Amino acid sequence: MLLYNIPFFRYVAANTNEGTGGKIFLLVSLAVIMLVLHFMMTYLTMFLMRTVGRVLLAILSLINATAVYFILTYSVMIDATTIENVFNTRYSEASGFFTWSLWLSILLLGVLPAVYCLLQPVVLGKAKKMGICCGGSLAVILAVASMNISQTLWISQHDTELGGLLQPWSYLVNTCRVATIHLDKQAEEIKLPDGKIMDDEKAVVVLVIGESARKANFQLYGYQRDTNPLLSKRQGLRVYPATSCATYTTAGTKAILEPKNTDNLYELLPNYAYRNGVDVSWRTSNWGEPPIHIDEYLVNEELGAQYPQEDMHYDGVLFAGLRERIASSKKSKVLIILHTSTSHGPKYADKYPKEFEVYKPVAKSVEEGEQHVGMLVNAYDNTIRYTDYLLDHLIDTLRSMDDWKSAMIFISDHGESLGENKMFMHGLPMRLAPKVQYEIPFLVWTSEHFRDYKSEKELPAVLEQHYIFHSVLNLLSIQSPAYDKDFDIFAPHFSEPLSHTERSLH
């Protein structure tokens, strides 16, 4: 078990701020807790189901050996995304990983312990002995944990990394998380009242959902660096100040797609538009979106296979072939949603093609960036430059489609901390979060004579994410009781909006 957790201990040793004495104390404490906890779990499992327990332990040995090999060889972390990828990987893609060194480590670290687990005689004793063993184990765990109480904050700050390196918990816990998310996807959403498309003018809306893109680093919002060299020259681009409803992806994305702020799950924009006759396509390189029920749901790997000239590791692949996709639509209203991941940490520098590395040198990860914040900001700013290019290129594509009315909307799911007050990444509760984690960019471009924008006076100084739902209904000429003209950045398109909005939503 200590061997399976070498990456875990290595991470603790490298990242704790303790001196040598404190470091050794923490490592020994963690090893003791781990050994005693595993002893207790093993004892319980074997006590309750002797043969099944043996087989379980043998299987865990095999998976542990495989997991630790991948962690050490490819520097991966076994988080929910990794597990999702494992389940979604086809044999042909995975076969490249099957090397002699993999088989050798599975043999030594997996098969030998598994054989031992299956053959070793076991003397369990009576229930009383079991009670003493488990009680004693719990007492040891509590005692050692309380001696390390001062480490609670450090552990909670590094829980993702620590959890992703801990065998067998990394894959057991994250497999459960993935399974729960898949069950949630089946969750019943509350249907909105039917809407109706009121004209057959060709119109397309491309909604780009940004990931961790914060307002403060956009030149368009006054950042001193030229992170928006293209969009800042773009005629007719609207730049709205906005805040997100949360500081993490799942909630931020849901807020962008739902009609109003709620803990309930109302029918989401793509689902609603699709049900009412719009041609809807969702393209994603991201994770953690609410349940989407449409026919065309494409992940970056699939798009990479469809457009081999694009590198599927970068978000450019989400924008590939859009013109053809829109032009070939059999419907007059098209909604394309691109769920990007370009500014996602901790490895910002991996999220854009090399030619967008304008600000140098860059930190390769947040860990490195904690020592050199300037280098981390460089890497992050390069992701904003890449986003600038992608959005500008998208506007060019839409502009060239003369026979379509078109709109591009970009809004981020939440912001990001880049070392201010020693904070990094995002996800703090809203009441504690610094502004940079929820102040987001909200950019809109439309083709000429599409819709009239409301004047500044008619809108609040700062917009929120629910403006997307109603503004997009307007652009797609969907008349609906779910539409709320107060949450539309455009002047209402229909002179007599249906009036029972409030009632129908409650």
Which residues lie near Zn ion (CB under 5 A)? 211, 249, 413
Least gap, CB of 329 to Zn ion (angstroms) = 29
249 or 471: CB nearest Zn ion: 249
Least gap, CB of 86 to Zn ion (angstroms) = 22
Least gap, CB of 285 to Zn ion (angstroms) = 12
Contact 381, 248 (CB under 8 A): no
Least gap, CB of 474 to Zn ion (angstroms) = 26
Q: Does residue 5 sit in helix, strand or coil? A: coil
CA 470 remoteness from chain centre: 25
In DSSP notation, 191-224 reads PPPP-EE-----EEEEEEEESS--GGG-GGGT-S
The pair of three-digit structure tokens given for residue 186, joined into one six-digit string: 């089946």
289 or 388: CB nearest Zn ion: 289
Least gap, CB of 426 to Zn ion (angstroms) = 7
Strand residue runs (E) in 86-162: none
The pair of three-digit structure tokens given for residue 241, joined into one six-digit string: 């100040």
Least gap, CB of 252 to Zn ion (angstroms) = 6
Least gap, CB of 440 to Zn ion (angstroms) = 10
HSE toward the beta carbon, residue 228, CA cutoff 13 A: 21
The pair of three-digit structure tokens given for residue 352, joined into one six-digit string: 């854009």
11 or 386: CB nearest Zn ion: 386
Burial label, 496 (beta-carbon count in 10 A; 0-12, 13-18, 19+): exposed
C-alpha distances (whole Å) from 73 to each of 7, 69, 97, 255 are 11, 6, 10, 39
412 or 480: CB nearest Zn ion: 412
254 or 385: CB nearest Zn ion: 254
CA distance 237 to 379: 26
CA end-to-end distance (rounded Å), the chain:
54
Q: How many CB atoms lie within 10 A of CB 253?
A: 26
413 or 439: CB nearest Zn ion: 413
Which position's Cβ is nearest Zn ion? Answer: 249
314 or 438: CB nearest Zn ion: 438
Q: What is the β-pairing status of strands 203-210 and 279-284?
A: unpaired
Question: How many helices, marked H, and strands, marked E, lie in the chain?
Answer: 19, 12
